[in-house]
Structure 1
Amino acid sequence: MGIKLIKISVVYFVIGVCMGMYMSMTHSFDFTPVHAHINLLGWLTLAVAGLIYVAFPNAAETTLAKVHFWIHNISLPIMMIGLAFYVSGTESAEPAIATGGTLMVLGIIVYAINILKNVKS
């Protein structure tokens, strides 16, 4: 699970960096919130979670780890696509942001429970 999270975090990193480069080249920064969330919730958060799972393989082998992985990687694209439409002027995209964001919080709570329950010295 640790390696899966590290690998998918790199996919988000490439997406975030490419968005940043596009915004810089076009001098259009409307998608800054999407760029920031992809880098923080996609790249950084998943890379750190992956490193924690590598350091604590007992936590990585749980059902909670799998549930966190899937909830996180389903909710983030929903939230980011919704946010991209929203900042582009489509106010009807707000439910996608709310749905993705709520699922993201639930996924992070699952991750927190897993860490608190299964990471031991």
Structure 2
Amino acid sequence: MGIRLIKISVIYFMIGVLFGLYMSMTHDYSFTPVHVHINLLGWTSLTLAGIIYHLFPSVSATRLAKAHFWLHNIGLSLMMIGLIILISGSEGVVPVIAAGGLLTTLAVLLFGYNVLTKLKAE
């Protein structure tokens, strides 16, 4: 699970950097919220979760870890695609952003619960 999260976090990092490059080349910074969220919730948070899961296999070998992985990635993808569409001018996508945000938040809460209950000194 740890390696899987680290690998997918690198994909988010590349996407985030590409958004940053696009914005700096075009001088259009309207996608800054997408850039920031992909880098924070995708690259940074998932890298740290991956390191924790890698260092503490007892935390990664749970159904909570699997739920965290899937909910986080589905939620973040929905939220970011929705945010791109919203910034591009379609306000009908707000419920998609909200759903993605709720899934991502639930994933983070599951991760926190998993670490707080399963991580023990060995």
TM range (shorter): over 0.9
Deviation at 1:102, TM superposition (A): 0.7
Cα RMSD over matched residues? 0.6
Length-normalised TM-score, structure 1: 0.98
The number of equivalent residue pairs is 121
Deviation at 1:118, TM superposition (A): 0.8
Cα distance in 1 for partners of 2:81, 2:28 equals 18
User: Sequence identity, in percent?
Assistant: 57
Runs of at least 4 residues off by over 6 Å: none
Q: Residue 98 of structure 1 corresponds to which residue in structure 2?
A: 98
Cα distance in 1 for partners of 2:73, 2:36 equals 16
Length-normalised TM-score, structure 2: 0.97
Deviations 1:25-46 (A, max 9, x none): 0111110000000000000000
Deviation at 1:111, TM superposition (A): 0.6
Q: Residue 20 of structure 1 corresponds to which residue in structure 2?
A: 20
Deviation at 1:89, TM superposition (A): 1.5
Cα distance in 1 for partners of 2:105, 2:75 equals 9
Query: Which residue identity is paired with 1:2?
Result: G
Q: Residue 113 of structure 2 corresponds to which residue in structure 1?
A: 113
Deviation at 1:54, TM superposition (A): 1.1
Cα distance in 2 for partners of 1:117, 1:55 equals 16
Equivalent residues in 2 for 1:22-101, closer than 5 Å: 22-101=22-101
